[in-house]
Each structure stands twice: as C-alpha cells, then as structure tokens.
Amino acid sequence: MSLLELDGVNSYYGESHILRDVTMDVEEGQIIALLGRNGAGKTTTLRSITGARPPDVRSGTIRFDGTDITGNPPENVSALGLSLVPEERRMFSNLTVRENLHVPDISRNLLNRLGRPMETGKTGLSDEEVYEQFPRLDERRDQKAGTLSGGEQQMLAIARTLKQDTELLMLDEPSEGLAPQIVQDVLDIIQRIADQGKTILLVEQNAAAAMKLADYCYVLDQGSIVFEGPSEELQANDEVRKEYLGV
C-alpha cells in the first residue's frame, strides 16, 4: 500500500523548472532511496513534499496516506505524521540533548494552544524510549548539542523527529560529513527504525550504502526520474549506476 504518492510533480524556483513530471510511490513499511548526483533535484523533491517554500509546486499531485497535501504548509503536512530530518540537522547548539528532545513537545503544546493541533492519534517515542534506542544520547543527556560529534548530532536529529507522531520519516543526506565508521552506525540506526515498522524515504549521496539499505530505489537526473526499481536491480545495472551515480 502506498503511503506517499507523487504524480507528475513539477516544481520551480522562480522561473527555473527543477522537478519535471516526477512520479513516485513510497510503500508503507519500506525504505525507499532517492538517489542522484548533486543538483539532480533530490532535496527539492523533499521540500516539495513537505510544503516548504521555495520551491513552488505548479502542477502534479502529492498524496500522503490518501490525503492531497499538494501545496499545504509544512505545519499541516507535519500534523499528518510526515517528518523530515534536514541535511543541516538544525540543532539548538546551546541547548542540551535533553532540551533538544523536548522541542517537539513545546511546539506541539504551542500549536494546540493556538488552535492548530498536531495530534494524529498516534504518539511518538517517550524520552526513555529514545534513550533506549540511542544509548549514546543517554550518556550525553546534559551535554550541549553544539559539543556533540557530527554522528551524535545526526542521531539527535533523528531521535528528536521520532518524538513526533511520525508515520513517514524522510532523511536528507544523513551520512553527510561523517567518518566511515560513524556512517555505518547511522545506517544501522536507520535499519533498526525500519525494522520496527517505520516507513523511510532516504535521500543519500552515498549511493552504494543506500542501495544496500533500501528496498526500492529511484534515480533522479536533472529533475527527472531516469530509473526506478528494486535495490537489487539497480545494483546489477552497471550502466545506470555509472552514468547517473558514479558508482
């Protein structure tokens, strides 16, 4: 069953046509990888899904769990259970790990008071569940986020997102700037989250690692889908990998 559907999506930055008739299905319970070289349109796809501005979605349809979310503002999309961990992670560097993890609770309470509830009927992880899944964060509860390593900050960004009512977790370049061993730690966490039933849309420059992790892959080039298929099929397709991914 498709949890997220993009049908013929065309997105623009000003007058620059970035996404061209992008059609994708994200099946519930799977890890879907969106791959491509720098500038291919991967982050634009995520921003189009979340309703971030820019880009401007001028045609096509985006549906999440059967609901048309095309052009909806980010807070409305998030309220449905779709969450994004951006490439830049957006930590509050002067807050501790514990305090960063409480940010989603504060945001939810504020929006509820403003009459814009974010409840989806499902709850995110409790603090203790987060610390159980991320023992390294447990060890650093009272450490300021700005003093964490890159890998620990990525773990905190993912953990903070899981505090929300998340049905679809989108990750934008989670291995960016991390040492190889830390990359593997982060990928192991992603796999563990998927094994617990979470649906994941993964944008990752490390195509080789993403292909091993994903169930199904899409490859973007100049804003268009040039390949889609099971991960095993992409791994066996030398022509596509070399031309569009450089691996």
Alpha-carbon gap, residue 161 to 123, rounded angstroms: 12
% of the chain at pLDDT higher than 90: 80
Rounded to whole angstroms, the Cα distance separating 136 from 199 reads 24
- Flag whether pLDDT at 114 surpasses 80: no
User: In this structure, are strands 2-13 and 82-85 parallel, antiparallel, or unpaired?
Assistant: unpaired
- Fill in the amino acid letter for 32: I
Residue 108 pLDDT grade (very low, low, confident, very high; cuts 50, 70, 90) = low
Peptide linkage before 73 cis (omega within 30 of 0) = no
Domain span at residue 151 reads 2-245
List pLDDT tens digits, range 45-82: 999 999 999 999 999 999 999 999 999 999 899 889 99
Classified as helix, coil or strand, 78 is: helix
DSSP summary character for residue 121: S
pLDDT band at 103 (very low <50, low <70, confident <90, very high): confident
Distance CA 150, CA 177 (A): 7
What per-residue confidence (pLDDT) applies to 46? 97
pLDDT reading at 121 higher than 50: no
Q: Which residues contact 128 (CB under 8 A, 6 or more apart)?
A: none
Q: What is the pLDDT of residues 218-231, one digit of tens each?
A: 999 999 999 999 99
Question: Can you tell me the mean pLDDT for 169-195?
Answer: 92
Q: Distance between CA atoms of 35 and 187, rounded to whole angstroms?
A: 16
Give residue 39's region: left, alpha or beta (phi > 0; psi -120 to 50). Answer: left
Average pLDDT (101-118) is 60
Domain count, the chain: 1
Is pLDDT at 123 greater than 90 in this prediction? no
Q: For the domain that residue 94 is a member of, what is the CATH number?
A: 3.40.50.300
